[in-house]
Chain A
Amino acid sequence: MIKNITLTPVTTLPKISEPVVPAGNQPGFGELLARAIETVNAEQVKADVTIQKFLTGEIQDVHQVMIAGQQARLTMQLALEVRNKVVEAYQEISRIPV
């Protein structure tokens, strides 16, 4: 037997306020992109350094080299996917007839 079903009254949702963007404070798209590319580059450099260390005998584990390589590959893939999306969006906008 079901007793005491209380229904909560539907309250009106708070009005979506306009996002306040302080001009000049937020990092621009260019800056974000530059930062992302910096990360990808850092991974690539790390992989290179690891291979060098392996060849000079500083690192003795083959798997460390392979792991660094795979990490570089994965970050690169992520960057590529993001780039594809950006280019796609740009093309979509450029196709708008004016």
Chain B
Amino acid sequence: MKMFQSLAISGSGMTAQRMWLDLISNNIANVNTTRTREGGPYQRQAPVFAQRLEQVLQGGYQGAGVQVSRITRDQSPPRLQHEPEHPDADANGFVSYPNVELNKEFVNMITASRAYEANAAAFESAKQMALRALEIGR
């Protein structure tokens, strides 16, 4: 139903932001992970947000929310730390730690949670609009 379009859009935004928060949590949890399935240290993951299209209008299009189209890996070099006793240390005694920076992750975390709240606020106001429309009939 068209009445619920904005609700669905806000919902997709909340899903996307929650997914971003999942990735941030994963980055923070793996801040010291030196072993992954692909081998080598964990690489920071970030989402790529893509717009979902609903229909093409005259000279433009109507959007229908957002979705995470793919998840990228941060290709920046790993953090090297001299720990010769570590089993994953290289020949020179350096251990490659993940390129996760906690301060960056925390800033992203605040951004994601604020964006989630913004979507919730948009949802709330769409709901209020629908309820106001129903009050006309009274």
Q: A61 at the A/B interface (Cβ < 8 Å)?
A: yes
Tally of A interface residues using CB under 8 Å: 15
Question: Is A64 touching B131 in the complex (CB atoms < 8 A)?
Answer: no
Across the interface, A61 reaches (CB within 8 A) one of B4, B14, B130, namely: B14
Within the complex, which residue of A39, A67, A71, A81 is in contact with B134, where a contact is CB–CB below 8 Å?
A81
At the interface, is chain A mostly helix, strand, loop or mixed?
A: helix
Whether A67 lies near B8 (C-beta < 8 A) is yes
Cross-interface CB contact of B131 among A63, A77, A84, cutoff 8 Å: A77
Among B3, B8, B11, B137, which residue has its beta carbon within 8 angstroms of that of A74? B3
Q: Is B120 interfacial (CB 8 A cutoff)? A: yes
Residues of A within 8 A of B112 (CB): none
Q: Is B113 an interface residue (CB 8 A)?
A: no
What is the interface residue range for chain B against chain A? 10 to 19
B108 contacts partner chain A, Cβ-Cβ < 8 Å: no
> B18 at the A/B interface (Cβ < 8 Å)?
yes
| Count, A-B residue pairs, CB within 8 A | 39
B4 adjacent to A78 (CB under 8 Å): no
- A85 proximal to B (CB < 8 A): yes
Q: How far is the CB of B77 from chain A (nearest CB, A)?
A: 34
Contact of B15 among A64, A78, A81, A82 (CB under 8 A): A64
Bound Cα distance A39, B2 (Å):
13
Question: Is A81's CB under 8 angstroms from B123's CB?
Answer: no
Contact present for B120 and A63 (CB under 8 Å): yes
Q: Quote the shortest CB–CB distance from A88 to chain B (angstroms).
A: 10
Known contacts A67-B11, A81-B134; is A74 also within 8 Å of B120 by CB?
no
* A77 partner residues in chain B, CB cutoff 8 A: 131, 134
Pairwise interchain contact A61-B131, C-beta atoms closer than 8 A: no
Chain B residues within CB distance 8 Å of chain A: 1, 3-4, 7-8, 10-11, 14-15, 18, 120, 123, 127, 130-131, 134, 137-138
Pairs A–B under 8 Å by Cβ, sample size 12 = A61-B14, A61-B18, A63-B11, A63-B18, A63-B120, A67-B10, A67-B11, A70-B127, A74-B131, A81-B137, A81-B138, A84-B138
